[in-house]
Structures are given as structure tokens and as C-alpha cells.
Amino acid sequence: MEITKELNWRNIFIFLFLIIFPFGQLTRMSFNLAGINVPLLPIDIIVGCGALYAFIEKFRKPKIFGYIAKFLWVAFFSFIFSIFIFKTPLLVYGLFYLIRFVAYSYFLIYVWNFARGKEINRGLLMDSLLAVSIATAIFGWIQYFAVPSLKPFFILGWDEHLFRLVGTFLDPPFIGLIIVFGIIISLNAFIEKRSKKMLIIVVFLLISLAFTYSRGSYLALLAGLGVIGIYKRNLRQILSIVLGLALLIIVLPTSRNHILGIFRAFSVIARIDNYSRTIQIFKISPVFGVGYDNICLAKAKLDGSVNFFYHDCSGSDSSLLLILATTGVIGIMAFCFSVYKIAKSLKRNSYSVILSSSFAALLVHSLFSNSLFYPWILGYIVILLAISVKD
């Protein structure tokens, strides 16, 4: 009954976010602006409404918001500075990404005010996040058997994945990381409660992760498990998961598609090339960056032209390199400072263990994909952070 009373306009956007989350890119819309394709995601609209509500109602802010705000100010300054670099109305494209990041930062305030001081609400949110990961994996299996090839989606700007679990996100690394978060939450619950239900969930999500064939997600899971092992000092369960994943990778049916092999090299070469291009963009303006998030414009400046239609145009295969290129040395320093201060402010409990493990997984994953600023991932981490912070 207490939960029902809490479900009102002061927090309805949290649960709208969680409900629409598993539908991923299927809800994606777009509009044309000055000849470029600008994405419009319902999940961003929901987050924006929650953030605006928290701003108008002057919700109390957690102390950690001050650390996040420092990076926001640097990102804003780098964007203003970029006006003198590009001198084009297309800068508004990057402005949308900056507004999105500000909205997700204020969404933290919105969620935190629902979670703070109420254990039942924090538990509800954590259970909801696990449910989201499970639903994401289930949708992935539906796609795997119903639409094993994404070739028809190539004309829409997506990669041609074949016989991989991509789900509603149409991209193996991102669905892989969402599943990794679910494994971390359910494994932590199993270690604490010895629940057979949680063990079944861990196994289901682990098998689902294996079929993404996402090596970045595999490494992300190892990083998350390492943090859990340090906190829990329970190596037996951790080693069991690692061995289970290794066995699954060995027996995966890769014979139908040679590009799924664990030692495939073409994607490594492509990623190194992407890193090199991002570093070239960083050299345009190393101190303040080219502006958050003006990667597309910077690529056009380097190459003469660029296709704004493709979904990876505004990203990099490394979120940390993206921060460096778009906000410069000042930005990466502000980001590291914010992460350090937030980590220092966390009190050791079950929630902070899950947050620390998930963020470790995210940092490793973000070395191979632009996952740090992916809306669904950003929202997931924001909710975890709101649950874990008490003041």
C-alpha cells in the first residue's frame, strides 16, 4: 500500500522510464534538421519531463550532484568554445546531446528524492532494474529466433549482425552490457540470500550474454565480478561464473558465421582505426575539446564530408576518448575528479557494491563502445546511483 501511495506525479516518470526501457530502439523516432538526421527517443522525453519537474519543484539535490555539475559546466564551456572552431548552424546537433546529458543529470535528483530514506522504494527500484535486464534478454531471444539477420536494417543505418543476440537495441555490445548489469544484481542477491530463483536468473542471463558474442561485454562482466569478489570476499561463486562463461564461449555455435569467432581480428582493426580518428579530432582542440558532442562536425572537418545518417556518426568506440576529444584535457580531468569524489562519498552497503561493480563493468565496456553516454545505460546507472547515495 505504501508503494501505491508513492506512485504519483512526483515519481511517475521513473516507472515510465522503466516500462519503456526494454523496447529499446524500436521506439526511436527522428526528424530532419538542416539536412541531418536528429534522433528523438521517447525515453529521452520521459527523462526530460522528470528532470524538468525536479527543476521546477526545486527538489532537494544530493551532495554528489555538485561533483557532476562541475563536469556539466566544463561540457557547456567546451560547447560554447566550439562556436569559434566550426562557425556553423549545425552546432545545434551537438547542443541536443548536451541538453540530453543535462537532463539525465537532473533525472538523478528526481529519482534520488523518491529513493532517499525509504528502503522499500530503494528495493523496488533495484528489483525493477533487474526486471528490465531480464525483459531485455527475453526480447533478445525473441529477436534471435525470429529475426536472426539484421541485413534488412542496414538501409536504416544499422550494422548487419547475423546470428547474434541484439534484441530491441539492434547492437550486441549495448544489450550485452544491460545483461551484465542484471547478472551483477542477481549474483549479489544470490550471494546474500542463497535464493535458487536468483541462481536461475544468473544462469539465464549468463547464457543470454554469451550469445551476444560481444567481447567487450564479456570483459565488462569480468571487471564487475572482480569488484564483487573484492567486496564480498567470496571467490567460489565468482570463479563459477567465470568458468561458466568461458565454457559457454567455447561451445557457442560459431560455425555458421566465421565473423563470430572470439579471436576475430577485423573488428579490432576497425576499432583501432576509430581510436586513431578520435585522437586526430582531439588534436584539433586539445585543451577544451571540439565541443560536447560535436564529433560528427569534427569528422566532417577532417574528412571533408560525413554521413550524419549513421547512428555511430556522433560517437566513438571509446567513451573516454570521446570525452577527451569533445571536452579536452580539462574535461577528462573534471570527469575523473567527479568519479573519484562520488566513489569516495559512497558508504559500503549492498547497493554501493552493485553500483561499484556495475560502474567498473561500464568503464571497461566504454573502452570498446560509446556506452557511457548511451541513453539507456546512462539512465540505468543514474538510477543505481540514486539508490546508492543517501545524502
Q: What is the pLDDT of residue 116?
A: 87
Asked if 132 contacts 284 with a C-beta cutoff of 8 angstroms, the reply is: no
What is the share, in percent, of the chain residues with pLDDT greater than 90? 50
Sorted by sequence, the CB contacts under 8 Å of residue 91 that are 6+ apart come out as 79, 82, 83, 291, 294, 297
For residue 281, give the 3-state DSSP assignment.
helix
Mean pLDDT of 245-272: 69
pLDDT digits (tens, 9 = 90+) for 307-322: 554 555 556 778 899 8
Of residues 115 and 307, more confidence is placed in 115
Categorize the per-residue pLDDT at 32 as very low, low, confident or very high, splitting at 50, 70 and 90. low
Rounded to an integer, the average pLDDT of 270-279 is 84
Mean pLDDT, rounded, for 91-115: 88
Which backbone phi and psi does 30 adopt, to 5 degrees?
-155, 160
For residues 296 and 312, give the distance between their C-alpha atoms in angstroms, rounded to a whole number: 9
Phi and psi at 32, nearest 5°, equal -95, 130
Give yes or no for a contact between 358 and 225, defined as CB atoms under 8 angstroms apart.
no
Give the residue with greater pLDDT, 37 vs 371: 371
**pLDDT tens profile 328-342:** 999 999 999 999 999
The helix/strand/coil state of 294 is coil
293-307 average pLDDT score: 67
pLDDT value for 255: 44
User: Are 331 and 71 in contact, with CB atoms under 8 Å apart?
Assistant: yes
What is the C-alpha separation between 254 and 263, in angstroms, rounded? 11
- Mapped onto helix, strand or coil, the DSSP state of residue 162 is strand
Residue 337 to residue 326: CA distance in whole angstroms: 17
Which pLDDT band holds residue 362 (cuts at 50, 70, 90)?
Answer: very high
Q: Phi first, then psi: what are they for 39, rounded to 5°?
A: -70, 145
pLDDT at 167: 92
Give the residue extent of every domain in the chain.
Answer: 2-388
Q: Are strands 29-33 and 36-40 parallel, antiparallel or unpaired?
A: antiparallel
Instruction: State the Cα angle at 228 between 225 and 229, rounded to 5°.
Output: 85
Local confidence band at 4 (pLDDT 50, 70, 90 cut-offs) = very low
What are the beta bridge partners of residue 38?
A: 31
Looking at residue 308, what is its pLDDT? 53
Report the predicted TM-score, pTM, of the whole model to 2 decimal places.
0.90
Residue for grid cell 524538468: 52
Q: Is the pLDDT of residue 203 over 80?
A: yes
Judge whether 72 and 102 are in contact, CB under 8 Å.
yes
